[in-house]
Chain A
Amino acid sequence: MMSDVFLMPDLWLGMLRGVRVTIAITILSAVLGLIGGIVLALIIQFGGTTARWFARTYVFFFRGVPLLILLYFLYFGVPQISLLRHGPLWTYLFSSPFATCVLAFSLNNAAYLAEVVRGGIRAIKPGEIEAGHALGLSSRKVLQRIVLPLGLRNCLSGIANEVIFTIKASAVASIITVRDLFGEAQRIGTLFSDNLTPLIAAGIFYVILVQIVEWGTRFLRAYMHGVSKPVSNSVLDRGSRTAPISQEPSLTESQAIRTSLHVK
Chain B
Amino acid sequence: MLATLPFLGYIVEGLMVTVGATLVGFAGALLIGATLSTLIVGSNTLPRYVASGYVTVFRALPELLFVFIVYYGLDIAMRALAARIGIAPLEISPFAAVTIALAMQFAAYCAEIFRDARTAIPGGLIEAGEAIGLSGTKVRTRIVLPLMFINATPALGNIFLVILKVSALASVIGLEEVTRRAKVVAGTTKEPFGAFAVAGICFLIVTALATALQHYIERRTTFGRSVA
Contacts and interface: CB of A to CB of B under 8 A. Distances in A.
Interface of A: 60-61, 63-70, 72-73, 76-78, 80-81, 164, 167-172, 174-175, 182, 185-186, 195-196, 199-200, 202-203, 206-207, 209-211, 253-258, 260-264
Given A172-B169, A200-B69, A257-B154, A206 B186 contact: no
B204 A172 contact: no
Contacts of B65: 171, 182, 185, 199, 202-203, 206
Contacts of B155: 254, 257-258, 261
B166 interface: yes
Interface stretch (B80-88, B109-117, B127-135): B109-117
Contacts of A185: 65
Contacts of A262: 59, 109
Nearest to A72: B196
B196 A263 contact: no
| Max chain A C-beta neighbours (<10 A), residue from B168, B191, B195 | B168
Interface of B: 56-57, 59-66, 68-69, 72-73, 76, 109, 112-113, 116-117, 120, 151-155, 158-159, 162, 165-166, 168-169, 171-172, 179, 182-183, 186, 191-197, 199-200, 203-204, 207-208, 228
A1 B155 CA distance: 42
A78 to B, nearest CB: 7
A69 B182 contact: yes
Contacts of B183: 72
Contact of A175 (B109, B158, B172): B172
B61 A206 contact: yes
Contacts of A254: 151, 153-155
Contact of A196 (B57, B69, B169, B179): B69
Nearest to B156: A257
Contact of B72 (A78, A196, A260): A196
B182 A72 contact: yes
Given A66-B168, A168-B60, A171-B62, 5 more contacts: A64-B207, A69-B200, A171-B63, A254-B154, A255-B154
Contacts of B191: 80
A59 to B, nearest CB: 12
13 contacts: A64-B208, A66-B169, A69-B200, A72-B199, A77-B194, A77-B196, A80-B192, A175-B64, A196-B73, A200-B69, A207-B60, A257-B152, A264-B162
Contacts of A172: 62, 64, 169
Contacts of B112: 260-261
A73 B117 contact: no
Nearest to A255: B154
B168 A253 contact: no
A64 B203 contact: yes
A58 to B, nearest CB: 13
Given A76-B196, A196-B76, A65 B204 contact: yes
Given A78-B193, A253-B151, A263 B62 contact: no
A206 B165 contact: no
A125 B94 CA distance: 51
Contacts of B69: 196, 199-200, 203
B192 A76 contact: yes
Contacts of A72: 179, 182-183, 186, 192, 196, 199
A77 B62 contact: no
Contacts of B72: 195-196, 199
A118 to B, nearest CB: 16
Contacts of B179: 66, 68-69, 72
A61 B208 CA distance: 10
A80 B187 CA distance: 13
Contacts of A258: 154-155, 158
B228 A73 contact: no
Nearest to B207: A64
A77 B193 contact: yes
A261 B158 contact: yes
Contacts of B63: 168, 171
A54 B196 CA distance: 22
A83 to B, nearest CB: 12
Nearest to B60: A210
Nearest to A67: B165
Contact of A65 (B62, B64, B203): B203
A171 B60 contact: no
